[in-house]
Amino acid sequence: MHELTTGFYKIGVSKKPNRRKRTLQSQKPDIKLLFNKQFPKKMAFSFERRLHRLFNDKRMRGEWFSLSNEDLNQFFTNVDSWSNG
């Protein structure tokens, strides 16, 4: 998810991402869901941990990260690579 006001991105796992988006929008109305892909539960949590470690130096708070366009490209490249390999 992308919070337009701050420019931060949330990297997290949710069983119901659209519900999670609505919950977050009640607190921060300027949130967009950018990526939603289903993975088996263990794989999803593994990806989440790997992405949090990869971008740890960009972490602003909790699961919110300040990512550049290059970081976003790396995010999608890694998720694609991990899910296919």
Q: Domain residue spans in the chain? A: 2-84
Q: Tens of pLDDT along 56-79? A: 999 999 999 999 999 999 998 988
Q: Read off φ and ψ for residue 55, nearest 5 degrees.
A: -105, 20
pLDDT of residue 52: 96
Against a cut of 0.85, is the pTM above it? Answer: no
Distance CA 72, CA 16 (A): 22
pLDDT of residue 17: 77
| Rounded-to-10 torsion of CA 45, 17, 75, 8 | -110
pLDDT of residue 85: 61
